[in-house]
Amino acid sequence: MDEVVRLAEAEQVPPCSIVIFGASGDLAMRKLIPALYSLDCCGERLLAEETMIVGCARRQMTIEEFRRHARDGIERFSNAPLREACWERFAARLDYLSGIESPESFHHLKARLEQIEAAGALPPNRIFYLALPPEAILEWVKRIHDAGLIWPPQGRGFSRVVVEKPIGVDLASAMAINQGLHQYLDESQIFRIDHYLGKETVRNLLVLRFGNSIFEQIWNAHHIDHVQITVSELEGVGTRAGYYDHAGALRDMVQNHMFQLLTLIAMEPPVSLGAEDIRGAKLNVLRAIKPLTPEEVHGQVVRAQYTAGHVDGRVLPDYLKEQGVAPDSATETFVALKLFVNNWRWSGVPFYLRTGKALARRASSVAIHFKPLPAILFAERHSLPANVLNLRIQPDEGFSLSVIAKQPGLDLSIRPVQMNLQYEREFQARLPEAYEMLLYEVMTGDQTLFVDSEMVERSWRFVQSILDVWRREGRNGMATYPAGTWGPEEAEEKLMPNQCAWIEP
C-alpha cells in the first residue's frame, strides 16, 4: 500500500496575538519570523486571518524598519521563497513596540493587545515568546504577569509562554528557573523549546519505532550491541564566544538536544500519542540514567578543545585564540561520553554520545548497532560487520540499514550493502523548519514536542555530575583536536571497546 494514512490534519490555528520579546535579536530574525512566514504562506496557510505578530524590544525601530528587517530575515534564512503577494499579507500582521523594558511599558503592550483584540473581535489568545538572554527570562515573566497580560488556563482565551534553551546553566539554576516560572504560570502554559524536537527526522523516530512491527521486537539489549548518537558541527564558535565560552558542548548540546534524541530512541511504547503519555515515557528514560561517579567521569567522558585547522576551506584558529574566548578557558568544544539506561530493556547496552564544533562535517545521526553474527556459517572464518540502522537527522535526511548480501557472480562473495531512504528523493517536498512545527504546536496548544520541568532537571542531574568533576579539575584532562577532524583520538581509544569504532555519520 502506498496510500498516505492521514492521522491528523494540519488545522488552521486559532486566531491569536504572538508577542516576540527580543524581536530585534538573532533568533527572531533567523528563525521565528521566517517560520511564521512559512506557516502563513506555504502549503495549507495555517495562520488565522486575524493573527497578529507583535515584536517587542528595547531598541528603537519604527514598524516600517521592523518589517524591512523581517523581510530581510525571510529572504536570507527561510527555506520558502518570498512571494510578493504573500509578503504583503504577512507584513500587515507585523507590529513593533520599542522601549519594552520597564514595568510601565508592559501596560502599553497590554493596551496594544486589547486594541488588536477589540478591532478583530478576537478572544484574548496570547502567546509570549521569550527570545531573550536567559538571565532576563524570570524578570520578563514577572512583568508580563504583573501587567495582567496572562491569566490561569481556565480563563477566557489562552495565554502561553514560550521559553528557549538554555534553561539554566546547572541543576540549581534550572530548578530556580522552573520554580520561578511556576510562581506565575501553570505547567500547561509553559512551552520549553528544544528545536531538535521540531525536526522532521526527529519526529519520524516515533513513527519508525512504533509504526513498524519489525523494529520493536529487536529494539532491546538482546539484539542491540550499542547505540551511537553524533551531532557534529562544522562551524567553530564564530561570533557566539560570549555565550559559548560560559557554556561548552556538554551544556549547549548534550543536556538538551542529545538527551532528547536519546529519550526518543530508548523510550518504551507510550500508551497513546497524547502529550502526557509520550512525555511520561521519555521521562522514564531520564529517570533510568544515573549520574556518574567521579571515577566514571574519568573513564567514560572525554572533553576537548579544537586547535587551528582547516574547516570547509577556511583556516580556524585555536579555540583559545578565538575572539571573546578566555586564553586559559576550560570550556570544551567537544565532548564524547558513554552512559547506560538502567532499565530492563537496555541493561548493559552502552549509549555513546558525541558532539563538537569545528569537526569534519555537519552531520547528526543516531546509529543503532546490532549484535555481531555468531562465528558460524558466513562469519566462520571472517568476522562480518554487524547490521547498523543509521538514522540521519541532518543533512541528507533519511535512514539506511546496512545488511550483508551476496555479490553477483559464480563465486560466493559477500559484502555489506545499504538499504537507503532519502527524504529528498522519496518525499520530494519542502521539509518544514523545526521552528515552523514548534510554533504551530504552541498555537494549537499541544505540548508533545516540548520539554517539561522534570525532564529539564533530570538531564541536568546527569550533566551536573560531570560538571562538578570538571570544575574541580580546571583544564586537567582537556584533550585537543585539530579543527576539521572528527575530534580527539581519546574519544575512540578511551571510550570504545576493541571491536567498536565511531562511525562517520
Site for ligand NDP, rule CB under 6 A: 22, 24-27, 30-31, 57-59, 131-134, 136, 164-166
Polymer length of the chain: 505
Cβ at position 109, least distance to ligand NDP in Å: 13
Residue 240 or residue 287: which is nearer to ligand NDP going by CB?
Answer: 240
Residue 75 or residue 489: which is nearer to ligand NDP going by CB?
Answer: 75
Cβ at position 166, least distance to ligand NDP in Å: 6
Cβ at position 77, least distance to ligand NDP in Å: 10
Residue 159 or residue 394: which is nearer to ligand BG6 going by CB?
Answer: 394
Quick count: other Cβ atoms within 10 Å of Cβ 155?
Answer: 10
Cβ at position 238, least distance to ligand BG6 in Å: 9
Residue nearest to ligand BG6 (CB): 252
Residue 233 or residue 441: which is nearer to ligand BG6 going by CB?
Answer: 233
Could you tell which of ligand BG6, ligand NDP, none binds residue 233, using a CB distance below 5 to 8 A set by kind?
Answer: ligand BG6
Cell 586537567 belongs to 476
Within 13 Å, how many C-alpha atoms sit on residue 450's CB side?
27
How far, in whole angstroms, is CA 105 from its chain's centroid?
A: 33
Nearest to 39 by CA among 84, 86, 77: 86
Cβ contacts of residue 281 below 8 Å, gap of 6+? Answer: 267, 268, 269, 270
Nearest to 329 by CA among 212, 249, 412: 249
Q: Is 45 left (phi over 0), alpha (psi -120 to 50) or beta?
A: left
Q: What is the DSSP annotation of 252-300? A: IIIIIIIHHHHHHHHPPPPSSSSHHHHHHHHHHHHHTSPPPPHHHHHHH
Catalytic residue, candidates 108, 257, 298, 310: 257
**CB contact at 8 A, 400 and 1:** no
Residue 22 or residue 432: which is nearer to ligand NDP going by CB?
Answer: 22
Cβ at position 34, least distance to ligand NDP in Å: 12
Could you tell which of ligand BG6, ligand NDP, none binds residue 25, using a CB distance below 5 to 8 A set by kind?
Answer: ligand NDP
Q: Alpha-carbon dihedral of residues 57, 63, 65, 70, nearest 10 degrees?
A: 80
> How far are the Cα atoms of 17, 335, 458, 475, 476 from residue 479, in angstroms, in the given order?
49, 10, 28, 9, 9
Cβ contacts of residue 223 below 8 Å, gap of 6+? Answer: 370, 371
Cβ contacts of residue 369 below 8 Å, gap of 6+? Answer: 224, 225, 226, 227, 228, 386, 387, 388, 500
- Give all strands (DSSP E) within 165-265, no chain letters: 190-192, 224-232
Residues that bind ligand BG6 (CB under 6 A): 165, 233, 252
Residue 167 or residue 297: which is nearer to ligand NDP going by CB?
Answer: 167
Cell 548534550 belongs to 254
Could you tell which of ligand BG6, ligand NDP, none binds residue 287, using a CB distance below 5 to 8 A set by kind?
Answer: none
Residue nearest to ligand NDP (CB): 25
Residue 112 or residue 251: which is nearer to ligand BG6 going by CB?
Answer: 251
Could you tell which of ligand NDP, ligand BG6, none binds residue 441, using a CB distance below 5 to 8 A set by kind?
Answer: none
Give the integer Cα–Cα distance in Å for 244 and 239.
9
Nearest to 461 by CA among 202, 288, 227, 271: 288
Cβ at position 444, least distance to ligand BG6 in Å: 22
Cβ at position 168, least distance to ligand NDP in Å: 11
Could you tell which of ligand BG6, ligand NDP, none binds residue 133, using a CB distance below 5 to 8 A set by kind?
Answer: ligand NDP
69 is catalytic: no
Could you tell which of ligand BG6, ligand NDP, none binds residue 93, using a CB distance below 5 to 8 A set by kind?
Answer: none
Could you tell which of ligand BG6, ligand NDP, none binds residue 27, using a CB distance below 5 to 8 A set by kind?
Answer: ligand NDP
Contacts 24+ apart (CB under 8 A), 219-225: 219/345, 220/345, 220/346, 221/345, 221/346, 221/347, 221/348, 221/349, 222/371, 223/370, 223/371, 224/349, 224/368, 224/369, 224/370, 224/371, 225/349, 225/369, 225/370, 225/371, 225/372, 225/386, 225/500
Could you tell which of ligand BG6, ligand NDP, none binds residue 361, using a CB distance below 5 to 8 A set by kind?
Answer: none
Which amino acid, 82?
L
Cβ at position 483, least distance to ligand BG6 in Å: 15
Cβ at position 316, least distance to ligand BG6 in Å: 15
Residue 251 or residue 282: which is nearer to ligand NDP going by CB?
Answer: 251
Residue 33 or residue 205: which is nearer to ligand NDP going by CB?
Answer: 33
Catalytic residue annotation:
257
